[in-house]
Chain A
Amino acid sequence: MIFWIIAGWVGFVLCPWYGVEDGFFSFEWLVDGYPFEEDYSPAAFLIGQGEKLWLAPLLIPLLLPLLALGREKSDPTYFRILTVAGALGFGWLIIQGFSIGIRGFNFQWMNAAFGALGDRQFGMGYGAMICASAFLFLFTQGIAARGAVNGDVFVVGAIGGVVTIVTAFVFFPIANMLFSAFVTDEGAYSLSAFVGKFFDDRLWGLGCFFGARCGAALNSLVLAIAVGFITTVLGLAFALVVTRSGFRWKRILRALTVLPIITPPFVIGLALILLFGLSGSVTVFFADLFGTQPTRWLYGMPGVLIAQTLAFTPIAFLVLIGVVEGVSPSMEEAAQTLRANRWQTFRTVSLPLMRPGLANAFLLGFIESMADFGNPLVLGGNFDVLSTEIFFAIVGAQYDQGRAAVLAMVLLFFTLSAFFAQRAWLGKKSYTTVSGKGDAGVHPLMPMGLAIPAMIVAISWAIFTATVYGMIVYGSVVELWGVNNSLTFKHYVTAFSIRIEEEGIRWTGAAWDSFWTTITIAAIAAPLTGAVGLVTAYLLTRQSFAGKSAFEFGTMLSFAIPGTVIGVSYILAFNVPPIEITGTGIILVVSFIFRNMPVGVRAGIASMSQLDKSLDESSLTLGANSWHTFRRVILPLLRPAILAALVYSFVRAMTAISAVIFLVSAEYDMATSYIIGRVENNDYGLAIAYSTTLIFVMLSAVALMQLIVGRTQIGRRMTQSRTNV
């Protein structure tokens, strides 16, 4: 408690209250007129100079907790003082932050009530941030002292912290944006503005049945269902071949599935164009062979469907392999003992037990397809989908933010319905088969009738994937694709040349800037994502508190929200005080954390549910508090989950595009948005060369991390497999 009281005062008296313009990590302000210069001044100095007097009431909640010093924790006044001080301080910070902005009062009625302010304020800086967290944690300590969650200070604090950041960086921007669906062109609120945009023909039109075009919402829905279905089937075929067949090159199959995950967007689309486009190699070959006229069949739904299937099948595979392996062999053996043949066993025992995996795989394919931005952009032709429509509603010549918000709502509605439908379908049945006791045996092989088609599908798909990637590498080393196919390294040189001079190495290549930014941002975001995700997972699996399911929903929400929506809402919400971070690297890091956090949460939950609760209990019985238990017992056992979350968020931060494209700025340009620029410029060579480099960089990063994970796992797996066999 004393720590947070001190922190509050430090934030108020020592740190610059407002955001420093030169960036979060520049400390120029220390020598530039601090502490009296208005821009860098701490709140206490501002008030002392008679400025920003609306900050003065914060002194009350800062002074209040001093009264609690020396009191017993069980004393009712103790918790009353802390909760009141915390709530007052935090509440006042928020109220003043939202009501006073860059042009004085933000709301008309305040001008009417108090007269024009004649002053303004910028976004929160170190001081305000530290103060806010101090108030927040004083408040949670107060509640804990009152007895919430068994008076556990760490747990209450963690809940408070996660709720606050999720509110600030997920709920607030999304709500802020969705509200604009109800705003008319003149800036008034109106329901009819929403209705008019919602029932637009461009959204729901059925024109494609009459020769014209269908609405974007219908297109998206049909596409997403198709992609979800196909990826699930393909993923299952892959998983079965890998686990239940005598197939020899399983390792290659597994390796192939990693590739699409680490592929920057567009690349698959570009490779498909180079193969199947109007002048693509395959198209031309077959046109010559049969003497037909090549067509543009690729552009539109077929192309997007193929590209998305290529990109998302591995995700379905990764989900399903766990489930397929997880079905306990003893169940299947039991079925066979009861004289079921292989086919019956598979159909009546194995397949039903895989239901959660199938549902999850479908859901992921569905959501990924809905949110996908790069492939429809490159291959969509006249086939409009929601994610690209949102983008062009914002950046297009018509600039219609309300329309973007309506489209975003429809998209959100689809993804959330899928989410709930999946839960309803799975219901509350138990699919647990691994009990930890006497789990011996091996999986039976697939029935022949299934094995042959599964093998054929998996192998031909693998060959297709390999071809596409072969084309990518080839495309990066030819002069000008399709026109001049002589081999050259010039694209790599343009992108990544360096010059060694006296002062050291000069990074002269065009791609270096965005490359280093991307690596830095990804490296900063990854551990933070892991941390937030695991703490949340810990709260969800190990603690029970009021509103837990709402809490779980909130943390998973950002996964169902497509990146374009996040990008737009962030730029609208965080360009103005109180949180003013557009144009900085922070906004990129923040968006990655909250985009990828759900995966960290899921990974954490999955591995934490495997850890017996008795471990925590014995630690608690031995007198450790829950923070110690978390740090000394749970965290070390979670290493695989931590690394999985790290790898995932690192890779996603390097390949994400849909949200990023709105958030990059002059100083912080990301690799993916640079690549789009090249693609737009018909500079395929450079774009593909850059992407290939990124693929290899990520491949080595993943391999490095896998090496570490692999080591930690081997010890446990070895003993396990010995008992199994």
Chain B
Amino acid sequence: MKRITATIAGSLIALAATASFADKLTYYCSAQEDWCQLMARSFEDATGIDVNMTRKSSGETFAQIRAESSNPKGDVWWGGTGDPHLQAAEEGLTMEYISPMRDQLHDWAISQAESAGNKTIGIYSGALGYGFNTDLLAANNLPEPSCWKDLLKPEYKGHVQMANPNSSGTAYTTLASMVQIFGEDDGFEFMKGLHANINQYTKSGSAPIKAAGRGENTIGIVFMHDAVKQAVSGFPIMVVAPCEGTGYEIGSMSIIEGARNLEEAKMFYDWALSVEAQNLALQVNAFQVPSNMGAETSESAPDMSQIKLIDYDFKKYGSSDERKRLLQKWDEEVSTLPQ
């Protein structure tokens, strides 16, 4: 009896093997929706692997990966600002992987990997700055700002918007950049001065410039590529690279520890670092600077060589402790001030 069942089972297995199951990949994406879709579909076309994509902001994705850590559902996490990736690496939620594609990458992409024990890698970068709505600025007879300190002028009161650093990686990068540009004390003085002019702390990082595009706000502090995107989409937005210099983000990619489809995740990882994959960004108006040295950049993209970039310390300001400390200080000293 047992032998019969065994033979039946055996033949069933053989049958199953010939039926050839499609490989699959669960892909968490924290970039803009159309870019995520394009990456997923293009990878499917390139490899024949079925891709299940979820798009959530980097904070949400990080929360999800953490919640799922005892039973990971995702395989690879692509896109979104680098800090949550570094944090995930720090907490052991992502795994070490050294891609054969590395020698084609810019140095900043590799140093991002090295600061996290090779548990993440840079896929694009973008500098912080701000954009303003030219129509509204003219309607209110305001001068065009060009430096960070310009934003403190009293005439901009009620015209500046940035995200809340507690909920947005972009705004945290702003806070950390100010601390690095002006020093911690003056940096916080800057944030206090800015607070007086802020009309709203939004929840999501790019919301201020989107509001500016629609004419709901005048100046939005965001990553410059987000501002460029609004300008290219037809909104009256002008992009500013502040004169004091500025911080930047490194959009990252990590493989999730305990990935169920590890082989496919590694294939995706290598493919995402290739020239062809990084050139896809141009099709969806993503104006970040790609990490592969051979990839093309758009003409509309902010020219990184013209922007004064500070030497942003990702390791220090990406760590949980420093982050908690700065955010707490901001909460206590800045956000409680009357506006």
Contacts and interface: CB of A to CB of B under 8 A. Distances in A.
Interface in A645-682: 664-667, 669, 677-678, 680-682
Contacts of B16: 28, 31-33
Given A211-B339, A677-B33, A678-B33, A665 B214 contact: no
B1 interface: no
A388 interface: yes
Interface stretch (A147-155, A243-251, A475-483, A524-532): A475-483
B305 interface: no
B201 A382 contact: yes
B200 A381 contact: yes
Main secondary structure of the interface of A (DSSP, over half): loop
Interface residues of B, number: 73
Interface in A456-484: 480-484
A681 B215 contact: no
B323 interface: yes
B19 interface: yes
B63 A399 contact: yes
B190 interface: no
A211 B338 contact: yes
Contact of B27 (A201, A279, A666): A666
A36 B327 contact: no
Interface in B5-46: 5-6, 9, 12-13, 15-16, 19, 21, 26-28, 32-34, 37
A681 B15 CA distance: 47
B53 A682 contact: no
Contacts of B84: 397
A278 B216 contact: yes
B166 A397 contact: yes
B53 A397 contact: no
Contact of A397 (B54, B67, B70, B167): B167
A399 B66 contact: yes
A402 interface: no
Interface stretch (B114-122, B229-237, B269-277): B229-237
B52 A667 contact: yes
A399 B327 CA distance: 12
A571 B61 CA distance: 13
Interface in A80-108: 101-103
B126 interface: no
Contact of B70 (A103, A296, A392, A481): A103
A34 to B, nearest CB: 7
Interface stretch (A340-348, A362-370, A574-582): A574-582
A394 B235 CA distance: 33
A711 to B, nearest CB: 43
B200 A299 contact: yes
A575 B70 contact: yes
B216 A666 contact: no
A394 B63 contact: yes
Given A395-B63, A582-B68, A277 B203 contact: no
A273 interface: yes
A224 to B, nearest CB: 21
Interface string B156-179: 001000001111110010000000
Main secondary structure of the interface of B (DSSP, over half): mixed
Contact of B234 (A21, A392, A484, A571): A484
A571 B68 CA distance: 8
B47 to A, nearest CB: 17
Contacts of B70: 101-103, 575-576
A582 B164 CA distance: 29
A572 interface: yes
B71 A482 contact: no
B215 A36 contact: no
Contact of B54 (A35, A101, A665): A665
Contacts of A30: 12
B171 to A, nearest CB: 8
Nearest to A277: B216
A666 to B, nearest CB: 3
A392 B167 contact: yes
B225 interface: no
Interface string B314-339: 00000000011001000100011111
A684 B37 CA distance: 18
B59 interface: yes
B144 interface: no
A575 B67 contact: yes
Interface string A197-208: 000011001010
Interface of B: 5-6, 9, 12-13, 15-16, 19, 21, 26-28, 32-34, 37, 52-57, 59-60, 62-64, 66-68, 70-71, 73, 83-84, 136, 140, 158, 164-169, 172, 199-201, 203-204, 206-207, 210, 213-217, 230, 233-236, 260, 323-324, 327, 331, 335-339
22 contacts: A31-B13, A31-B15, A31-B16, A212-B337, A212-B339, A296-B200, A395-B57, A395-B60, A395-B63, A397-B83, A397-B166, A397-B168, A398-B166, A482-B214, A482-B215, A484-B234, A580-B71, A583-B73, A666-B28, A680-B57, A682-B210, A682-B233
